Amino acid sequence: MEDWKDAELLQMGHSKIALELKHTPPKTSIDFYRQIARYIGEFKEWHLTAPEESWSTVRARVLPRYVPINLEERLHRLEESVVVLSEALLTRPVVSSTMIVDLNSKQYSLRHPIPIVVEEWTKEAIATLPETETYGSGLTPAEAINDLKEQIILLYEDLETTDPEALGRLPRAWRRILRHYVAKS
């Protein structure tokens, strides 16, 4: 086994049968390697000096010799993985939830705080009221929240001035939700 992947497979095979071996150790060291080979799907002839050694002695003496691990290559692959994960994290927003406690308006106030979701991207922030599919955007989360407050007021006014019979199922639900939260001052 020259490749570190084979070494990892051997170690995984050993881990899987560790409990089995602990309770029912093989009678010979060759049996030990046959059990490992059964889990990794490959068997090689192992050249042992004393075929009747206990399995723990064989494992301690022989296994490290047949499990070469190229640490430099493994470290390089881990470093590449860290770079890929870092790049992936940079392309995802930071998502948080918060509450709006006022609408920054003299005409309207809130009866209850409104739960919202804020997504902070690299160059933009988006605040959303998922219940009414209303959103606001800005360069910072504060700007996005202020824009969302304005959009909530605009939606509320639009829904209040529209005949309820003319509203569809979803806008009627939005109207009911906004009436629960928003009050005229």
Q: Tell me the per-residue pLDDT of 72-100, one tens digit each, with 9 for 90 and over.
A: 777 888 888 888 888 887 788 899 999 99
The position carrying tokens 């799907």 is 41
Summarize the confidence of residues 111-130 as an average pLDDT.
94
Residue 125 has pLDDT above 50, yes or no: yes
Residue 1 has pLDDT above 50, yes or no: no
Please tell me the pTM assigned to this model: 0.56
Tokens linked to 157: 């006014």
Percent share of the chain, pLDDT over 70: 62
Within 121-178, strands assigned E span 125-129, 134-138
How far is the CA of 11 from the CAs of 6, 22, 77, in angstroms? 9, 16, 19
Q: Tell me the per-residue pLDDT of 23-74, one tens digit each, with 9 for 90 and over.
A: 555 556 566 666 555 544 433 444 444 455 555 555 555 454 444 456 777 7
Angle, helices 55-66 vs 29-40, to 10°: value is 50
Q: Can you tell me the distance from the alpha carbon of 40 to that of 35, in angstroms, rounded to the nearest whole number?
A: 9
Percent share of the chain, pLDDT over 90: 45
| H/E segment holding residue 95 | strand 94-100
Residue 177 has pLDDT above 90, yes or no: yes
